[in-house]
Amino acid sequence: MKVVANIYLKAGVLDPQGKAVHHGLDALGFDGVKDVRVGKQIVIELDKQDEQEALEEVKQMCEKLLANTVIENYEVEVKK
């Protein structure tokens, strides 16, 4: 089973990578962009069958390793 963890900076935390992308898009002529935020998407393949158990394990992974919970939030979901 594949589980996706989306990890992104909390609202209010400065995102210099997002700012750089925003400027790049402006320079390429994409107008109408109001904001850009860059996060991580980590796809983890587990040999579990139970969805709830897999989601719970990936949440633990986020807490312990994948996310810096001081400045980042995360969401986990099963990848279809």
Q: Which residues contact a copy of itself by CB under 8 A? A: 6, 8, 18, 21, 24-25, 28, 30, 32-48, 57, 60-61, 64-66
Q: How far is the CB of 10 from a copy of itself (least distance, A)?
A: 13
With H, G, I as helix, E, B as strand and everything else as coil, classify residue 28.
Answer: coil
Q: How far is the CB of 46 from a copy of itself (least distance, A)?
A: 6
Q: How far is the CB of 66 from a copy of itself (least distance, A)?
A: 7
Residue 36 CA to residue 45 CA, distance in Å, equals: 29
Contact (Cβ atoms closer than 8 angstroms) between residue 7 and residue 66: yes
